[in-house]
Chain A
Amino acid sequence: EPEVTQTPSHQVTQMGQEVILRCVPISNHLYFYWYRQILGQKVEFLVSFYNNEISEKSEIFDDQFSVERPDGSNFTLKIRSTKLEDSAMYFCASTRRGAETEAFFGQGTRLTVV
């Protein structure tokens, strides 16, 4: 069964450093998402991406965040200058076209900012 894969599974970084979280969505999917979850709490929407551009972003997704699909398979989330409050589990997801399709989530990257 196809799946969304994320790397690394755990990333520890110093405050102020840049991090890149990587995702490989399911190959025939068209919509891509990043969500984050702080300490097993609510799943928060960050950004959606379609047709090589951001289709929607939340207020969390400020200028410190960016997304890219550099080579048609990887989907990356970059945090330019990490803050302590960026510590969270980051999930990538993808869906086929259409609102009725379910999202498939990766296993997540646990980001710890120290």
Chain B
Amino acid sequence: AQSVAQPEDQVNVAEGNPLTVKCTYSVSGNPYLFWYVQYPNRGLQFLLKYITGDNLVKGSYGFEAEFNKSQTSFHLKKPSALVSDSALYFCAVRDNNNFNKFYFGSGTKLNVKP
């Protein structure tokens, strides 16, 4: 069965420090992995995706994510956090054998303190 886990409900980090938001996945076929961000009272905005190739993918707003096949993980990272990065982050996976839907994680609230 396809699933995504985000083990942390909340991540707190000081502005200027590196941040990591964790995600692990389970799919039957090859995974297509995505990160979305949600600001208060807004829809989900696409940040980045991994399809194939280089395990480190770069996306919007300075975010990047590292695909690790052996650990079935796709952690979101940023070298230097900004207060404006504070939001809800969702990891999602799509199975290349069934692209009828995206499976979303439960979300991680990122708090960046000045």
A→B interface (CB under 8 Å): 4, 31, 33, 35, 40-45, 48, 50, 55-56, 91, 93, 95, 98-100, 102-108
Contacts and interface: CB of A to CB of B under 8 A. Distances in A.
Given A45-B102, A95-B99, 18 more contacts: A31-B99, A33-B102, A40-B107, A42-B106, A43-B104, A45-B101, A48-B101, A50-B100, A56-B101, A91-B43, A99-B99, A100-B32, A100-B51, A100-B94, A103-B46, A103-B102, A107-B42, A108-B42
A107 B32 contact: no
Contacts of B102: 33, 45, 103
A48, A56, A99, A103 pick with most chain B CB within 10 angstroms: A99
Contacts of B45: 105
- For the side of the interface on B, what is the size category? 20 to 34
A107 B43 contact: yes
A100 B49 contact: yes
B106 to A, nearest CB: 5
B106 A41 contact: yes
Contacts of A103: 34, 46, 102
Nearest to B29: A99
Contacts of B101: 33, 45, 48, 56
Given A42-B106, A43-B107, A99-B99, A106 B90 contact: no
